Amino acid sequence: MPAGGPDGRDIFPTSAVLCRDGVGKVPFPSGTLVWPVIHRITFGFFLWIIFCSKIMKDSVSRMEPTAWNKTFFDAFDHYNPLFMMAMMIWLWGLNVHVFMRSRVNYPKVFDLDSNHLTHLEIWKIASWMTILVVTSMTAYLYLESYEATQLAAAQPVIIYGVLPFLLAFPVDVLFSSSRFYFITTIFRMIFPLQPISFPDFFVADVLTSMSKVLSDVERSICRMYFFQIVESQMTGVPEDDANFMCGNHSYWIPCILAFPYLCRFFQCLRQYSDTRDKSCLLNALKYTTTFPVIILSALKYQLPDVVLWETIYRPLWLLCSVINTLYSFYWDITRDWDLGLLTSKAKKSLLRPSLLYGHRWVYYWAIASNLFLRCSWTYKLSAHLRHNRLTVFTFSGLEMLRRFQWIFFRVECEYNKMINRGASVDIPLKEVGTKLATEHFSPSDYDT
């Protein structure tokens, strides 16, 4: 996600930066000093992952097959959404890395200052999150293998408490400016009481791809809550009822799936109110096509008659899914990426005149793969298709990759629009932070 100025650059400085800011001119270490540090930290990261993997393997070997099946399902429900979040942070770091090596001035697009996070710092955050999640899951399996059920059940509770605490930690450490930037962006996304900026709807769009992850977080928290009650025998809620309340029959699942799209819908209405641009209404209509897919899928678990689902609601669900997929694909290509395909501009060019990534085949690949990956869109929105956990994991990962690819061309398109509007570019991508923010440069400064 876009982020503001980082804290603690002493661990992961970039060799291209010559000074910490334009006033103090504190020099950073050169590349010959930086990369050995990065290599040592990378080695330690993988060494810890291997160590945890060995403990998990030994823990599994101590379990009976029946106990292992239940433990695996519980561990998947608790840790799958956290791994997906970590994956998205890793991919965002790769997005930033490509932006910095290309001619796409992402700091200008997101209106960031000269101290924004680099890709190395984003990967540092992703590394620590991955380590925390893997360590928690290792402890969970290890304790379960010795039948320390209460201690094992506490592990996901701890990790789900620690991560939000670190994000909202009100002290000027741990990349505080970036954390507060993200939190305020989320707040503006939920409550669109002011004009919508690019970061506002960008984060909302990314969260639509993570709607399945958010619903899995709710399911995990629900299971932790009810199973803690069952284990402590504070109430007579049986385990089967807890599974029922936290499973696909829960009304919370479709509500949380729809929530990011609802936020994006209200953002579009706010944009129309501010600009009177009718395309904002068409964009809002695109997000409304998601709601029938979610609602009809959830209906399967509420209908008493299976025949009613097969004959009426399932065909309606398929029709709504096709409409949503095609509409979303069309909007990606023609509006979000501003490519000529599928529009009247296709007679002149299937793409567009200004292609900052250089190779035309990259754009054709993005168009084709986006259509293919959009098909997984229906899967992640449809609760009644989630029976196989490995399939769920695969399709969630595919949606993360689709959004990762979408980000490249969406930010490039926005930067092209800024150039066409005659916007000055403040921060050169080859030397982010090396010149004063008051200086201005031509687009030629970004050539690699």
pLDDT band at 282 (very low <50, low <70, confident <90, very high): very high
DSSP 332: I
Write out pLDDT tens, residues 163-202. 999 999 888 888 888 899 899 999 999 999 899 999 999 9
Is residue 219's pLDDT more than 80? Answer: yes
Query: CA torsion sign, 11 to 17 to 23 to 25?
Result: positive
DSSP string, 52-101: HHHHHHHHHHHS-HHHHHHHHHHHHHHHHHHHHHHHHHHHHHHHHHHHHH
Average pLDDT over residues 204-217: 92
What type of residue sits at position 50? Answer: I
How far apart, in whole angstroms, are the C-alpha atoms of residue 400 and residue 413? 20
Mean pLDDT value across the chain: 80
Tell me which long-range contacts 48-53 makes (C-beta under 8 A, separation of at least 24): 48/131, 48/134, 48/135, 49/130, 49/131, 49/134, 52/134, 52/135, 52/137, 52/138
Strand partners, 441: 425
DSSP 9: T
Place of tokens 């160590």: 51
Is residue 98's pLDDT more than 80? Answer: yes
Q: Which residues contact 111 (CB under 8 A, 6 or more apart)?
A: 197, 198, 199
Where is pLDDT greater, at 90 or 8? 90
How far apart, in whole angstroms, are the C-alpha atoms of residue 410 and residue 386? 30
pLDDT band at 133 (very low <50, low <70, confident <90, very high): very high
- Model pLDDT, residue 250: 79
- Model pLDDT, residue 157: 93
CA distances to 74, 182, 293 from 134, rounded to whole Å, are: 15, 24, 34
pLDDT band at 229 (very low <50, low <70, confident <90, very high): low
How far apart, in whole angstroms, are the C-alpha atoms of residue 48 and residue 127? 11
- Model pLDDT, residue 174: 85
* Portion of the chain with pLDDT greater than 70, in percent: 77
pLDDT band at 340 (very low <50, low <70, confident <90, very high): confident
Q: pTM for this one?
A: 0.83
- Model pLDDT, residue 303: 80
How far apart, in whole angstroms, are the C-alpha atoms of residue 160 and residue 158? 6
Helices (H), 105-169: 106-109, 119-145, 149-167
Write out pLDDT tens, residues 104-120. 899 999 988 777 888 99
Is residue 425's pLDDT more than 50? Answer: no
Are the beta carbons of 129 and 137 closer than 8 angstroms?
A: no
- Model pLDDT, residue 444: 37
DSSP 195: P
Is residue 429's pLDDT more than 80? Answer: no
Is residue 272's pLDDT more than 80? Answer: yes
With H, G, I as helix, E, B as strand and everything else as coil, classify residue 35.
helix
